[in-house]
Amino acid sequence: MPTQPDRTRLLRRRELLQLGAAGVAALGAGGVSIAGRAAQPGSGQGPPPPKPPMPDQVVSPATLPVEDWSEPWVWRPSEWPGQALTLHLVGNAHPPRATSPGNRFTPLYSYNGSSPAPTVRMRGDETLRITLRNFLGPNTSQVPAGPTPDPFELVPDKLNAALCQMFKDEGSACDLEKNPPTGRLVFGHFHEFFRHIPVDLVDTTCLSDAANVPHGSHTTNLHTHGVHVEPGVNPNGTQADNTYLRVLPRGDWEARQRAEGPSCGSLAPHERVAEANFEHVLGDVQRASRTDTARPPQPHAPGTHWYHPHAHGATHDQVASGLAGFLIIEGDVDDAINLAMTGTERPDPTVKTGPYDYRERLMLIQRVEVSSLDVDAGPRRNQGRLAPPTAINGTFAPTCLFMRPGAVERWRVLNGSVDGRGFKSFMVLEGQFVFHDRQLWKVLPGEGEGAPRRLEPASRQDVADATRQLYQLSYDGITLVTTENGRARYTIRDLASKNAGSRNPLDRPPAPGEDATRAMLSNVEACYRDGGSLRDLYVRPNQVLLTNANRADVVFKAPLDASGRVYTVFAQEWVLQSDNLQQRLQIGVATGRSGFLPANPAPVDVIVGYIRVTGDPVPGGDFDVMSLRDRLPDVPPYLRPVEDNDLRVPAAEAAARGVPAGSHRSRVLSYSGYGPTDFPLVEVPEAFASAHPELKGRIWDEVGGTRVLLPPFTRTMAINGRFDLAADPEPPPAQKFGHHDPHHPRALIETAEEWVLYNCSVALWSHTNKEQHKQPGQYALHYRAYPIGRADGQARFAKDPEFQITTKGADHPFHIHVNPCWVTRIEVPDEHGRLHNVLDEPRWLDTVAIPRGGRVVFRSRFADYVGAWVNHCHILMHEDHGMMQAVAAVARADEANYSPRARVASPAMSADEVTAIYPAPSLELMYRQNMSFVDANPALGQVYPGFDLEIPKLDD
Ligand SMILES: [Cu+2]
Cα–ligand 1 centroid distance for 873 (angstroms): 5
pLDDT band at 105 (very low <50, low <70, confident <90, very high): low
| % of residues, the chain, pLDDT over 70 | 88
Going from the Cα of 783 to the center of ligand 1, the distance in angstroms, rounded, reads 23
Ligand 1 centre from 417 Cα, in Å? 13
Q: What is the pLDDT of residues 173-231, one digit of tens each?
A: 777 666 666 555 666 677 778 888 999 988 889 988 889 998 888 999 999 999 999 99
How many whole angstroms from 307 Cα to the centroid of ligand 1?
20
Average pLDDT over residues 802-806: 96
CA 10 to ligand 1 center in whole angstroms = 27
Q: For residue 271, what is the enclosing H or E element?
A: strand 271-273
**Mean pLDDT for the chain overall:** 89
731-741 mean pLDDT: 91
The answer to whether residues 320 and 368 touch, using CB atoms and an 8 Å cutoff, is yes
What are residue 225's DSSP bridge partners? 306
Q: What is the mean pLDDT of residues 162-167?
A: 84
Cα 930 to middle of ligand 1, angstroms: 12
Query: pTM here?
Result: 0.93
- pLDDT computed for residue 57 by the predictor: 82
Give residue 360 CA to ligand 1 midpoint distance, Å: 32
What distance in angstroms lies between residue 311's CA and the mean position of ligand 1's atoms? Answer: 17
Q: How far is the CA of 418 from the centre of ligand 1 (A)?
A: 10
Least confident of 384-398, 562-576, 652-666, 860-874: 384-398
What Rg value do the Cα atoms of the chain yield, rounded? 27
Query: What is the 29 CA–ligand 1 centroid distance (Å)?
Result: 22
* Long-range own/partner contacts, residues 580-586 (CB < 8 A, 24 or more apart): 580/18, 580/21, 580/808, 581/520, 581/524, 582/521, 582/524, 582/525, 582/763, 582/805, 583/804, 583/805, 583/806, 583/808, 584/18, 585/517, 585/520, 585/521, 585/524, 586/521, 586/797, 586/801, 586/804, 586/805
* Residue 120 predicted with pLDDT over 80: yes
CA of 38 to the centre of ligand 1 (A): 34
Q: How far apart are CA 783 and CA 806, in angstroms?
A: 7
Residues near ligand 1 ion, CB 5 Å cutoff: 812, 873, 875, 878
Q: What is the rounded distance in angstroms from the CA atom of residue 287 to the CA atom of residue 285?
A: 5
| 38-47, 241-250, 528-537: the lowest-pLDDT one | 38-47
Distance 197 CA to ligand 1 centre (A): 28
> Which of 878, 897, 937, 877 is CA-nearest to residue 759?
878
Nearest-CA neighbor of 393 among 325, 455, 466? Answer: 325
Encode 105-125: b = buried (16+ Cβ within 10 Å), e = exposed.
bbbbbbbbebbbbbbbbbbbb
pLDDT digits 0-9 by tens, 293-344: 677 889 999 999 999 999 999 999 899 888 999 999 999 999 999 999 999 9
For residue 148, the CA-to-ligand 1 centroid distance in Å is: 20
Calpha distance 568→426 (Å, rounded): 11
Distance 877 CA to ligand 1 centre (A): 8
